[in-house]
Structure 1
Amino acid sequence: MAKVDSQIAAHPLSSERVTQAHAVIEAHGGTDDSDAISRELASRGLPSLVELGRIQARSSFSWWRLHRKRRALLRRADR
């Protein structure tokens, strides 16, 4: 379990920069003002919306696989 948890912690989708970028996006609520979001991301030195999309596209499957593995380990531990 510790190995999977460390892999999740080291994953690109759980990096500090990506987490902060997602917080900026969420702080803007449901607005569609991508220009304001892009400016704030750039001012903080965080990945752009395009870069976040690329990271998401490249990393989603491995993120899903790690969490699936973690859930399986938890189910086995509960037996």
Structure 2
Amino acid sequence: MSKKNPLLKKKFDEGYQAGFLTGTKNGYEQGKYSATMYFASRFEGLQDVKGIGPKTMEIIVNHFGAEYFKKVNE
């Protein structure tokens, strides 16, 4: 068995670490996007659910923040 070149091993480890960090960051961003889209889909039509009136909708909007909701004129 031959001795491995330490410079090649070092460069391999650096590349592996950089790829791992990039993959982790991309996975985090994808997870955040998926969670956001899930919550957005669950909020669609919330005002049409029986038992949720204007007061409840106002409480929900105030809790999460008005910037996450858009007002639609019916």
The answer to whether the superposition gives a TM-score over 0.5 is no
Tell me which structure has the larger Cα radius of gyration.
2
Q: Taking CA–CA contacts closer than 8 Å with sequence separation of 6 or more, which of the two structures ends up with the larger relative contact order?
A: 1
TM class by shorter chain equals 0.3 to 0.5
TM-score computed with the length of structure 2 as normaliser: 0.33
The structure that is helix-richer by fraction is 1
TM-score computed with the length of structure 1 as normaliser: 0.32
